[in-house]
Structure 1
Amino acid sequence: MSSPLLIAMRNPVIRTSMIAIVLFGFSGAATSPYQSVVGITELGLSDGFYSALIFAAALFNVAVSVAIGIVADRVGNYRTLMLAVILCGVVGYGAVYLLPTKGSFVLAALMLLPVHGALNPLLFAYVRTAAKDMGGRHAAAVNSGIRAAISLSWVLVPGLVGLVLSARGSMLPAYLLASLGCLANFVLVLRLLPEKTGVDGALGKRLSFLASFGEILSLRVLARLLAIALISSMLHVTAAVLPLIVTGAAGGKVSDIGIIVGIVAFLEVVFIVVWGRIQYRLSHIDALALGTAIYVVNMALLGLSTERWHIYALTLISAFGAAALISIPITYLQELIADRPGLGSSLISVNVFLGAGFGAALFALGTRISDYSGTALLSSLAGVAGLLLLLFLDGDGRGKASAS
């Protein structure tokens, strides 16, 4: 049985899409870790203004992703829309580098780069249409391979960019690299990706914007989004509390944080592919439930960790569980509105936003009533709640059913 990466390499459309998603990941990985440094330290934005800016940008990204998904289904193809959103990345990143002012940074962060972020669900929708004849399990494996490509960018790029630019005294050149990455992506999509019909154009035109938003807000979809967001919130809480537990309760050093995060990120790439293979044998629901259970155990053990070696010992289970949580929900969410790839894939962005929101709320509540270790334990309970809701809704396999 072929691995998802081999499946991808044999299909020229999927192969090109994988390169496109790597370039997309490169642009984000080159700048996101240093965005606050550029905005606050180099350009002088206040902490409060920057926080509000990032929240508004995340909200705008969700709205744009859903709107573009609806448009993609209505027009029946994705290539032109992909070119448009990539161009926003070229201009947005380039403007910050060429015109390093508060105004250009705010314009890019609030509008241009959130639009560019819509490329992620667009590419997954495009790949879904290319893989639709391969069968559900093969399509899930391809999704895992594509998601692994993004993770690979995040393993390699941030450290290399930081190493190269640390001696320059400014992280602004990272935005030049990101703009060039977007430009390369624009040329790639323009030259190598054919127009790909997503759905029956008549179907898309029958569904207005209001009807499409109504489909997302239907109880059937919203309840499942809630379950996945609760599960995904554990990843966001981990990002917040892991460094604090390492240097606090576990008695580690700041240098341990980078090592642990690097180990987990590398293992995630491997395990994402492994989960793709697992889905040949298990349904999406069973695989996601297993991955969630593993990560719940990881969060509970993280909250109980009191020695540095405890955290290092958790890297394997953490990476294995996290790989499931960042890859399997992609296929699950797409299949909630299976007959509309653009709208279904936009649920990926909705889930990221909701998961981050739940994560922030759990962090605020946990640190108010307990400490960082207690917050990790609270997050594990949220993961259990999400898992139970998922099993209640889809434990009999109904989650694989498309929209009614």
Structure 2
Amino acid sequence: MNPWVAILRRHPVVRASAAAIFLYGLAGAATSPYQSVIGIRELGLSDAEYATIALAASITNVFMAIAIGALSDRFQSYRRPLIVAAAFGILGYGTIWAAPSAIVFALATVGPLALFHATNSLLFGNVSAQTARLHADDAQIVNALMRMAISLSWVLVPGAVGLLMIGRDSMIGAYLIAALAAAACLATIVLGLAPDHPRRPLRRSETTPDAIPEGGTGTARVAPSSGRADRPVQVRLPGSVIGDMAQIFRPSLLAPVIGIALISQVLHVNGAVLPLIMTGQAGGQTGDVGFAVGMVALLEVVFMFGWTWSLRYLRVTTALGLSIAIYMGYLVGLALASDPAHIFAASLLAGIGAAGIISIPISYLLDLIQDRPGLSASLIAVNMFLGGAIGAGIFAMGTALQGYPAAAILSGIGGLAGAGLLILLERKSR
């Protein structure tokens, strides 16, 4: 049996988590391609204000993700935090749709939506905890499946939303679609993931629930070795949550994370400049933005198989270097585009490069902190924060110098610098 199919059949938690992260991705796919257009052109934000909001949202998201990840490890509870995070997605997207204004956009993006985006790392942490005993190759497949689920949501949704919005005076309806997707994500988590702390039925000799020793889910009053066999091994952790969070900021850990963030920021900058270049200097329509994004997402799904296979023969740093080099070619094409067809052609390179940039760093980050799935998964959020922060800075710098094309080129140069940093760190560690 194909190992990809076998893993899905044998592990219900992978199926449920993949479905939930697909719906999480759908919410982002409905809004992210149009977020800069809505914020800047519809709600009246300046380029600098938009960049500031993006930076503030990234800061909020990373601290929430680290704190929730540390708490999830300490109490071995992933389902409850996921329920809370998904619920805030409904609140954030729904508020922007119901009361669109610059201040509401800023508050919802920095508040509820920043917490909602912790869903991403929490789902990876949940899967990592439940599949910790898998072979390394199988773990790579699980991570790739999760990333593919997100990419699949980007295949049709941006284009479909763009088509729905054609002829309308506002793109704000995309946020209603995202709110519905967040609601479906919440329902999948509630119905698809097993409860964190199920109670055993009372035996005849036991008359009260207090007579039953509890264990195995991290909320035990006794040693947790008596827990469910289908749950990961639970260990009471010394120290505090603050101490757990401080681990993230060790220099030896931050250096590789910064390298990954320098690579990942190209996706953040592209998300901001693509719709602006497409509907600006390239003379395209909003529907063209959705088509380009969907095209890239489809290519990502296909080429993720190839990048996962390539890791059997290539070092992670080498594969990342190749990915960003290919993506740099796309960014140059985007910067020089004067027609939508130019962007569509360059998007062929974007799909190949982005597949590696999206999928390869996940396993790399999850391996940086052993035996702490929630905390290690929060590195995904740290990477998103640093990538978003660096990307916001590059966006502001590029637009101040030579406009959106300059931002795209500067972003690619930063990505190449990140790949160089990772290769240098790897050589020093040998």
Structure 2 length as normaliser, TM-score? 0.78
Select which of 264, 267, 286 maps to 2:296. 264
Q: Percent identity?
A: 43
Judged with a 3 Å threshold, the aligned counterparts in structure 2 of structure 1 residues 124 and 5 are, in CA distance, closer, same or farther, namely farther
Match of 2:367 in 1: 335
Match of 1:353 in 2: 385
Query: Which segment drifts farther, 229-238 or 116-125?
Result: 229-238
Structure 1 residue 328: Cα displacement: 0.8
Q: Counterparts in 2 of 1:362-377, with a 5 A limit?
A: 362-366=394-398, 376-377=408-409
8 Å CA contact retained: 1:292, 1:321: yes
Amino acid of the structure 1 residue aligned with 2:236: A
Structure 1 residue 327: Cα displacement: 1.1
Distance 2:274 2:99 in 1: 36
Judged with a 3 Å threshold, the aligned counterparts in structure 2 of structure 1 residues 366 and 152 are, in CA distance, closer, same or farther, namely same
8 Å CA contact retained: 1:199, 1:340: no
Distance 1:257 1:324 in 2: 22
Distance 2:176 2:340 in 1: 38
8 Å CA contact retained: 1:4, 1:144: no
Q: Aligned with 2:133: secondary structure?
A: helix
8 Å CA contact retained: 2:284, 2:339: no
Q: Counterparts in 2 of 1:47-66, with a 5 A limit?
A: 47=46, 52-66=52-66
Match of 2:221 in 1: none
Select which of 262, 279, 284 maps to 1:254. 284
Runs of at least 5 residues in structure 2 that lack an aligned partner in the other structure: 197-216, 218-230
Q: Aligned with 1:184: secondary structure?
A: helix
Distance 1:243 1:98 in 2: 24
Match of 1:401 in 2: none
Q: Aligned with 1:265: secondary structure?
A: helix
Distance 2:127 2:91 in 1: 26
How many equivalent residue pairs?
393
Judged with a 3 Å threshold, the aligned counterparts in structure 2 of structure 1 residues 317 and 90 are, in CA distance, closer, same or farther, namely closer
Match of 1:202 in 2: 236
8 Å CA contact retained: 1:140, 1:331: yes
Match of 1:86 in 2: 86
Judged with a 3 Å threshold, the aligned counterparts in structure 2 of structure 1 residues 171 and 306 are, in CA distance, closer, same or farther, namely closer
Match of 1:18 in 2: 18
Alignment root-mean-square deviation, CA: 3.5
8 Å CA contact retained: 2:33, 2:289: no
Match of 1:77 in 2: 77
Distance 1:356 1:46 in 2: 18
Q: Counterparts in 2 of 1:273-312, with a 5 A limit?
A: 273-296=305-328, 298-299=330-331, 312=344
Judged with a 3 Å threshold, the aligned counterparts in structure 2 of structure 1 residues 230 and 31 are, in CA distance, closer, same or farther, namely closer
Match of 2:124 in 1: 124
Select which of 198, 215, 224 maps to 2:247. 215
8 Å CA contact retained: 1:231, 1:383: yes
Query: Which segment drifts farther, 175-184 or 83-92?
Result: 175-184
Any idea what the Cα deviations from partners look like across 1:294-340, whole Å, max 9, x if unmatched?
A: 33455567668899876555433332111101111111111111221
Q: Aligned with 2:368: secondary structure?
A: helix
The structure having more radius of gyration, on CA atoms, is 2
Judged with a 3 Å threshold, the aligned counterparts in structure 2 of structure 1 residues 98 and 235 are, in CA distance, closer, same or farther, namely closer
Any idea what the Cα deviations from partners look like across 1:78-129, whole Å, max 9, x if unmatched?
A: 0111111112223333344456677765553332221111110000111112
Distance 1:36 1:299 in 2: 18
Amino acid of the structure 1 residue aligned with 2:63: A
Query: Which segment drifts farther, 168-177 or 261-270?
Result: 168-177
Structure 1 length as normaliser, TM-score? 0.82
Runs of at least 5 residues in structure 1 that lack an aligned partner in the other structure: 399-404
Match of 1:189 in 2: 189
Judged with a 3 Å threshold, the aligned counterparts in structure 2 of structure 1 residues 304 and 170 are, in CA distance, closer, same or farther, namely closer
Any idea what the Cα deviations from partners look like across 1:253-303, whole Å, max 9, x if unmatched?
A: 425766544432321121123222323444434433332343345556766
8 Å CA contact retained: 1:53, 1:109: yes
Judged with a 3 Å threshold, the aligned counterparts in structure 2 of structure 1 residues 302 and 63 are, in CA distance, closer, same or farther, namely same
Matching of residue 115 in structure 1 with residue 115 in structure 2: yes
Distance 1:239 1:32 in 2: 7
Structure 1 residue 220: Cα displacement: 1.2
Distance 2:31 2:139 in 1: 30
8 Å CA contact retained: 1:198, 1:340: no
Q: Aligned with 1:202: secondary structure?
A: coil
Query: Which segment drifts farther, 238-247 or 325-334?
Result: 238-247
8 Å CA contact retained: 2:320, 2:357: yes
Match of 2:68 in 1: 68
Amino acid of the structure 2 residue aligned with 1:85: A
Amino acid of the structure 2 residue aligned with 1:202: R
Distance 2:408 2:40 in 1: 29
Distance 1:315 1:38 in 2: 23
Amino acid of the structure 2 residue aligned with 1:16: A
Structure 1 residue 39: Cα displacement: 5.8
8 Å CA contact retained: 1:140, 1:279: no
Structure 1 residue 213: Cα displacement: 2.6
Query: Which segment drifts farther, 30-39 or 125-134?
Result: 30-39
Query: Which segment drifts farther, 29-38 or 148-157?
Result: 29-38
Query: Which segment drifts farther, 387-396 or 159-168?
Result: 159-168
